Every structure is written in structure tokens, then in C-alpha cells.
Amino acid sequence: MAQRTPDYDAVVVGAGFAGMYMLYRLRELGLSVRVFETGTSVGGTWYWNRYPGARVDTETMFYSYQFSEALQQEWDWPERYPAQADLAAYARHVADRFELWPDIQFETRVDAARWDDAAGLWTVETDDGTQVTARFCVMATGCLSAVNYPEIDGLEDYAGETYHPAHWPADGVDFAGKRVAVIGTGSSGVQSIPVIAEAAAHVTVFQRTANYVMPAHNRPMAADEVAEIKANYPALRAKAKQSFSGNYFPVAGPSALAVSEEERNREYEKRWAMGGLAIMATYADFQTSEAANETASDFIRNKIRTIVKDPDVAELLAPKQLFLCKRLCVGTDYYETYNRDNVTLVDISETGIDRVTPEGVCVAGHTEPVDVLVLATGFDAVTGALKRIDIRGVDGLALREKWADGPRTYLGLGIAGFPNLFTITGPGSPSVLTNMIPSIEQHVEWIADCVRHMRDAGLDRIEAERDAETDWVAHVNDIGDQTLRATCQSWYFGSNIPGKPRVILPYAGGFPAYTEKCDEVAAAGYTGFALR
Ligand code: NA7
């Protein structure tokens, strides 16, 4: 039994799409909830990532909440892939509609959370030194929220303006007449480079690894298309949940090698014309057969050679790693941008960057003078935001220490040694390999059901069991190592952060298998969790 009355029943860290929905569900159960959020408004990823060209790469009629039929019927998305501002407006609408604002404290960063086993309470400490206690602590801290600033010699001495896409000034950046360097060619670089190139005098792109970029073919939503989706929303959403990524992408067949080259290329052409991420589901053996995977890799490499006029530049842009090894990017005029006179591509795959000088970026002894430096260098993905908080469990165990060799969780929801702490889309759950919003909803609903079960059964404490956690971590690693994702350096495995253990972060077994497991665990009285 809890020894004293806490300030709140639950603290939720983060007011992105996960934190907002968690607040809604816990409040619905009658819990008192405090949400802490570093930003000045809701939206999380879609609050922070204000860089030019930022837009979601999943079709937004499906990258949106489905928990409220009224919400999904009333909201109108302007475009197939809405821009950051539209996603932020949607987040604010949700906060208005469900009256979430009063329970969210903005401009407040959570620095620490300590579990007191005798009291059965978490003490959560914020950056102004305030401490609050709660029975439950839910980490809704996001998978791509802990910004990665690169370790490059001389960066601190650079005399021009420096920006990271996820810390972009709200008022934008004026690139007119300026020489710009962009370091990084993941999604943020891919989306921003074409937009920056239209405004700047010159853009120099420093590329360590070329990525596969599908055209978005973004467009305004047509009224009849919207009406049809809205009329069939529940069925379409249900269908998406049965697919590996929680997105409804039609699968053309079990193997790319089971069909002729002509048929395969017809299918790839169809998906290139369709745009977006659907190509990743074309054949079911992209993650298991290198030969199958190469057929898609070659198709995209050939597209790059067709689009990019300078054959040397085209070769540099053609990815060397397997298709889907790193996250597939979706862009607008990305490859076309390299045909512009004011864009230069610098390959740093062999050399890296020597240093940043006060004037610019130095590679292989040559300094490119620039006025603006854009560090599109990504995130300390999945675990970064959790490890940046000093989280202490039973006997003062630090999460950072527990995860020194890689994250250990049970289902990406609970952690042995950290009672009454839940992570939304934590490591070991499908998260970044799926459509994030359905994954968030599945976690929030699972947690809310668990809290309801505890309340109804008069239970105060839940903790993942060590053996269940060990088995789950082994399963996550086995599956991750069996996929072709393990064949390159990517943030899925923590490879982008110097010193980070090379361990798969998301669960790569697919959304349906994962949700089935979570449902089984709950139905059997939360097997693998100790409750009392
Ligand atoms: P990503 O996908 O991690 O991309 C970061 C890019 O920055 C990538 O090209 C990196 O090269 C490059 N990078 C990182 N550190 C360095 C250093 N030190 N030197 C040179 N280049 C570097 O992050 P994004 O923000 O673009 O996208 C993240 C996700 O957000 C995206 O997948 C969507 O889900 C939304 P590397 O590939 O590591 O060689």
C-alpha cells in the first residue's frame, strides 16, 4: 500500500502525441495527472521539428489519432503529407477539444525521477528544482527527440549561424544570399535541402551515407478521396493494424525473386509513381533475402542515375547499403536538387569532416566557407531521451547504468527494477519501425487498461520480472539480428552515436505479432509482471 498521499496519481513526461493521449486516458479513469513538457505547446516531434520542408512521410489520414471517431471525422488534413505547421495545429486542436491544457505544465524539463519503494511513489524533479510525487510515472519522451549534435573539431569556434532541424527558430531562417552547409542526409536533410537550395545563394551538402529517397508526390487532398476514407475509417484502420508496419501498404507477393524482372519492375514503377513509403512492403522478403532486396535497391539506384545529370554525383547519391537497412526517406525534388547550379555534394564517407573552422567546413584539407551551418545530424534515437533523465529505480539503480550495454525492457513497456514506470513506444517495442501514432495508441491503451486493472484489483505496484525481461530482450535481439537491417550502420542499432552500444532498439517482429503478445500478457493477468 502506498504510504502517503502523492501530489498526483500519475506524472507523464512529454506532451507529444503519446503524452497527450496518455493524459486523456488516465484522466478518463479518474486519475489526477500532471504532464511536464519542455516546449511551449503540445505536439512533441511536430512542435520541435520546424525546419524548412518538414512534413510527415506517412499519409496523414492514417498518421493521426483513431481513438475518437468524432475527431477523425471532423478534422480535415489539407495535404497528403501535411507540413509541420499543420501537424502542430492538429495537436493544438486535440488539446482544445479534450481540454488537455490545464493539466500540462509547459517550459518545464524533467531532469530526474526517483522511486521510493517504501512509499510506493515516484518523485519527479523538474529543471526549476520543483519536486512532485506520483504513484505512476509514464515516459512519453519520444523516440526521435534527444538531439544529436555531432562531435566535430572546431564546431564551437564557427563564426556563422548554426542550426539543428529539431531546434529550428520559430521565426524561420533567412537564407537569401547566403552560403549554406548542410551536414547530414537523413530525412531532415532530405526534406530541407531542396527548400534551402531555392532560397540560398549556395548549398554544400556533406554526405556521409547516401540514403534511398522515394518521391513524396505530395498534393492537396481531394474531397472525394477524403470522403471515401472517412466513410471507411474503422475498416481501413483495422486493416492497417494487420500489416507489419501498422500502415496499410499492399503487399505484391511473398518474394521479389518469385516473379519476373519485368513484373517486379512494373510493380516498383507503380509504387514510385504512387510515392511515399509503400514500396517497402512490395515483397515480403526484403529483410530476409539479400538478392530480393537488391532488386529494389537497383531500381532506386537506376532512378537516381536517370534523374541526376552529372553521373559522378549520381553515383555518390546511389546508396551502397541495402534497401531499408536505414530508414527509407521520402522527399520532394531531392535528387532533382542536385541538378541545380547552386548545389554541391561533398562525399565524406571515407574522410569524414576534418574540422569546422570559424569560416566554414574543412574536408580533406579544403575549407568551404559558409555563412550558415545546418547540422541535420539526427537524434540519439529511442533511448536518448530516457537516458538524459536521471531515472532511479529500486535501491537507487540508475537506468543509465542498467542500460549501459543496451536497453533492457519487457515489451518496451516496463523495466525490471523500475516499478510503476511505463515507457510509451520504448525500446523493445515496434515504435520507429511502424506508423508511430497507432503504435502510441496501442501502448497508451495497454497502460490505461493495466492501471484500471490495478485499481479494480486493489493493487499498488507493478514491476516487470527480470526473467520475462531477459527473455524479451533476447527475442528482440534475435529478431533484429536476423533482419538485413543488421548489415549496415544505422540509428536503429545506435550506430550514429559515438560510444552507444550496437544493439537493435525497436522490436522488428512486426506490429501484429507484437500487439498479439501484449494482448496475451494482459489477458493472462499481466504475465511477466509482478503485481501486488
Ligand atoms: P538521421 O536519419 O539520423 O540522419 C542524420 C544524418 O546526419 C545522416 O546522414 C548521418 O550520416 C549524418 N551524420 C550524423 N552525424 C554525423 C557526423 N558526425 N558527420 C557527418 N554526418 C553525420 O536523422 P534525421 O533527423 O534526418 O531523421 C531522423 C528521423 O526523423 C527520420 O528517420 C524520420 O523518422 C524522422 P550516417 O547515415 O550516420 O552516416
With a threshold of 0.85, does the pTM exceed it? yes
Is the pLDDT at 171 greater than 60, yes or no? Answer: yes
One-letter-per-residue 3-state SS of 376-397 = CCCECCCCHHHHCCEEECHHHC
Q: What is the DSSP letter of 364?
A: T
pLDDT at 1: 44
Pocket test for ligand 1, best of 148, 346, 377 (most atoms within 8 A of CB): 377
Beta carbons of 271 and 300 less than 8 angstroms apart = no
pLDDT digits 0-9 by tens, 341-359: 999 999 999 999 999 999 9
**DSSP assignment letter at 286:** T
Percent of the chain with pLDDT over 90: 98
Q: Is the CB of 277 under 6 A from ligand 1?
A: no
For the residues 351-376, what does the mean pLDDT come to? 98
Q: Which three cell numbers, joined as nine digits, stand for 469?
A: 525481461
Q: What are phi and psi of 305, to 5 degrees?
A: -65, -30
SS3 411: coil
Question: Over 60: is that where the pLDDT of 5 sits?
Answer: yes
207 alpha carbon to ligand 1 midpoint, in Å?
10
The arithmetic mean of pLDDT across residues 260-275, rounded, is 98
Q: How confident is the model at residue 4 (pLDDT cuts 50, 70, 90)?
A: confident
Contact 214, 282 (CB under 8 A): no
First to last CA, the chain: 9
For a substitution probing ligand 1, which of 55, 147, 208 has the most ligand atoms within 8 Å of its CB?
A: 208
Q: How many CB atoms lie within 10 A of CB 435?
A: 24
Ligand 1, atom 3, residue with closest C-alpha: 378
- 398 - beta bridge partners? 392
pLDDT digits (tens, 9 = 90+) for 380-391: 999 999 999 999
CA distance 466 to 529: 9
- Tens of pLDDT, residue by residue over 208-255, are 999 999 999 999 999 999 999 999 999 999 999 999 999 989 999 999
Are 112 and 392 a contacting pair, CB within 8 Å? Answer: yes
Q: Is the CB of 346 under 6 A from ligand 1?
A: no
Ligand 1: centre distance to CA 387 (Å): 20
Orientation angle between helical segments 84-97 and 17-28, nearest 10 degrees = 10
Residue closest via CA to ligand 1's atom 35 equals: 187
Residue among 46, 188, 437, 487 whose CB has most ligand 1 atoms within 8 A, to mutate: 188
Q: Would you say 441 and 72 are in contact if contact means Cβ atoms under 8 Å apart?
A: no
Separation of CA 48 and ligand 1 centre (Å): 16
What are the residues whose beta carbons fall under 8 Å from the beta carbon of 391, sequence distance 6 or more?
Answer: 112, 113, 139, 398, 399, 400, 418, 421
Q: What is the pLDDT of residue 2?
A: 46
Residues 37-52, mean pLDDT to the nearest whole number: 97
Q: What is the 376 CA–ligand 1 centroid distance (Å)?
A: 6
In this structure, the residue with its CA closest to atom 33 of ligand 1 is 187
Ordered DSSP codes for 459-516: ---EEE-HHHHHHHHHHHHHHHHHSGGGGS--GGGTTTSTT------S--S-HHHHHH
Instruction: Report the pLDDT value the prediction gives residue 238, as an integer from 0 to 100.
Output: 96
Mean pLDDT value across residues 79-102: 97
Cβ of residue 439 lying under 6 Å from some atom of ligand 1: no
Q: In what order do the strands lie in the sheet with 161-163?
A: 161-163, 372-375, 179-183, 202-207, 343-347
Nearest protein Cα to ligand 1, atom 30: 187
Please check the confidence at residue 262 and state whether its pLDDT lies above 90.
yes
- Give the sheet arrangement for strand 355-356, strand by strand: 355-356, 360-363, 366-369
The β-bridge partners of 33 are 10
Closest atom of ligand 1 to 208 CA is 39
**Mean pLDDT for the stretch of residues 354-381:** 98
Angle at 199 between CA 197 and CA 203, to 5 degrees: 35
Residue 421: the pLDDT is 98
> Would you state the pLDDT for residue 257?
98
Report whether residue 45 contacts ligand 1, using a CB cutoff of 6 Å: no
Give the 3-state secondary structure percentages of the chain, helix then strand then coil, rounded to 5. Answer: 40, 20, 45
Say which residues have a Cβ less than 8 Å from residue 278's Cβ, sequence separation at least 6. Answer: 249, 250, 271
Query: What's the rounded mean pLDDT across residues 358-362?
Result: 98
Cα gap 315→309, rounded to integer Å: 11
Query: Closest Cα to residue 166, out of 435, 310, 375?
Result: 375
Q: What is the pLDDT of residue 319?
A: 98
Q: Going by CA atoms, what residue is nearest to atom 23 of ligand 1?
A: 378
Q: How far is the CA of 202 from the centre of ligand 1 (A)?
A: 21
Among 3-12, 44-53, 323-332, 468-477, the least confident range: 3-12
Report the mean per-residue pLDDT for the chain.
Answer: 97
| pLDDT score for 51 | 98
For residue 510, what pLDDT is reported? 96
- Please choose from 152, 155, 164, 187 the residue to mutate so as to test ligand 1's pocket, defined by most ligand atoms within 8 A of CB: 187
The protein residue with its alpha carbon nearest to ligand 1, atom 18, reads: 150
Q: What does residue 174 show for φ and ψ, rounded to 5 degrees?
A: -90, 110
Backbone angles phi, psi at 103, to 5 degrees: -95, 5
189 lines ligand 1 (CB under 6 A): yes
Does residue 372 register a pLDDT over 70? yes
Angle between helices 511-523 and 233-241 in degrees, nearest 10: 90
Q: Where are the alpha helices (DSSP H) in 308-403?
A: 311-317, 334-337, 384-387, 399-402
Nearest to 259 by CA among 307, 217, 295, 234: 295
In this structure, the number of other CB atoms found within 10 A of the CB of residue 270 comes to 14
Q: Among 26, 84, 27, which Cα is nearest to 60's? A: 84
Angle at alpha carbon of residue 492, lines to 113 and 140, rounded to 5°: 30
Pairing state between β 110-116 and 355-356: unpaired
Q: Which atom of ligand 1 is nearest to the CA of 209?
A: 39
